Amino acid sequence: MTHYDLVIVGAGSGNMIAGHDFSHLRVAIVDRGPFGGTCLNRGCIPSKMYLHTAEVAHSAATGARFDLATSYDGADWPAIRERIMGRVDENAESGREGQSEKDWVDVVVGEAHFTGPRQLVVHLADGGETELTADQVVIATGTRPTIPPIDGLDDLSESDRRRVHTSDSVMRLSDLPASMAVIGGGYVGSELAHVFASLGTAVTQVESEDVLLASQDREVAEVFTREVAERYDVRCGAKVVRVEPAEGDGLLLTLDDDSTLTVECLLLAVGRRANSDVLAVEKAGVDTYDDGRVKVDDQQRTSAEGVFALGDASTGHPLKHVANHEARVVRHNLLNPDDLQSVDHRFVPQAVFASPQVASVGLTEAAARDEGIDLAVGRTEYADTAHGWAYEEDDRNGPATGHVVKLLADRATGLLVGAHLVGPQASVLIQPLLTAMAHDLPVKGLARSQYWIHPALTEVVEGALLDLERALRH
């Protein structure tokens, strides 16, 4: 049994903690590998590299809207995969090597679980096991995909099971599938549906809600659903109730309306669950929510003395920028126990990097009204701006997109309480609105307190702020 001053379980955002400020301590980082967590290996980074590739393909396929004789003639999927995942694997290995080179850090490759308070057993990747104890422990073990209870799924043969994927595996497919069913209409399912549809796969996306991205503001979700449904098959208000081998090849899916689909592969994207059960956190005295997330206070401390948690293992905002923020707070609090910092989750932005992009922060209109807020609403469509003309956002050359910036303010305070965007560059355009919310800047005068570059797309944000200011006056 080896004792450490600090054991960090999970090398995603947990990998940020043990810098030179910890060189006076003995630290162990435990991860079954590869280093970098979900974001680097199976999530944000590779998916966005695939998404940019998809955008290039989609642009080539839709050049006629801009009077261009372009076409999309297919993808070299193995080359795309190797370009993207090769870089990911290289970074994961360099992250592990970087920690191994630190004199004060021991890298332990294996799967850990608690056996008692601040005591763990690690089943090593190369066989055997080791026991660790620590003065302090950080839980940063992230999540894994949820597998929905679909009839027939567990009965598939081994060869047919290889046709069933989650976001953890689908980006490493050996070949681009001819057809795919995506179960789930959240951001993971919607982003990956865009990738495969743009590259040439016949995609069917199945979502039990009546719109995709149902957690977004209703207007945004409706615009998004309508637009993607023009590109591939979208089945909202539906569920897959059975999976079985298809005659000849592929999988046969039966939906709850008795319709069927035959596809080459199936992507399950219905959510993720925390890995606290794998870690056996209850043996360490760590309390969890019903969904498995570790309970933490504002300083990221768990119910067990000396045990912190961060990132997807504990947060209600499973986003990399949130995990990084929490890692910085945990890092400070480990080094400064008499001067603890608290996390700030008041204004957490999120984005969906599909086509169109979606970005949001704060309350939706429905949630704000449910809270009884006296609400003012401002909105501007991309088509109302000069740069929107460059994107052919209006109906002069095909159907209008309906892409919009929608802003919500509390009449009592004059402050923004929500911002919702759907359209090109939404993930970038939201940033000045987030800044205004984080610094409690009133809507009144905000648009005219600064220059807005003309004719940049940021003018759609300016227009929405001006419309919101008018709404506040009435």
φ/ψ of residue 362, rounded to 5: 85, -160
Peptide bond into 432 cis (omega under 30): no
What is the rounded distance in angstroms from the CA atom of residue 451 to the CA atom of residue 204? 44
Number of H helices, E strands in the chain: 13, 21
What residues have CB less than 8 Å from 217, skipping those under 6 apart? 360, 364, 365, 366, 406, 418, 420
Six-digit token string for 298 = 């504002």
26, 29, 34, 73, 202 from 105: Cα distances, Å: 6, 7, 17, 50, 48
- Two tokens, residue 127: 């066989």
Structure tokens at 61: 């396929």
The DSSP code for 53 is: H
**CA Rg, the chain, in Å?**
24
> Could you tell me if 302 and 287 are in contact, meaning their C-beta atoms sit under 8 angstroms apart?
yes
The per-residue b/e assignment along 405-436, b for 16 or more CB within 10 angstroms, e otherwise, is bbbbbbeeebbbbbbbbbbbbbbebbebbbeb
As to burial, measured by CB atoms within 10 angstroms (0-12 exposed, 13-18 middle, 19+ buried), residue 251 is buried
Give the C-alpha separation, 203 to 340, whole Å: 49
Locate the DSSP E strands across 369-464.
Answer: 375-381, 404-410, 415-422
List the strands of the sheet with 164-165, edge to edge. Answer: 164-165, 265-268, 179-183, 202-207, 233-236
Contact 421, 220 (CB under 8 A): yes
CB 312 within 8 A of CB 39: no
Q: Which residues are catalytic?
A: 454
Is residue 304 classed exposed, middle or buried when 0-12, 13-18 and 19+ CB atoms within 10 A define those classes? buried
Distances (CA, A) of 375 to 133, 216, 230, 403: 53, 18, 33, 22
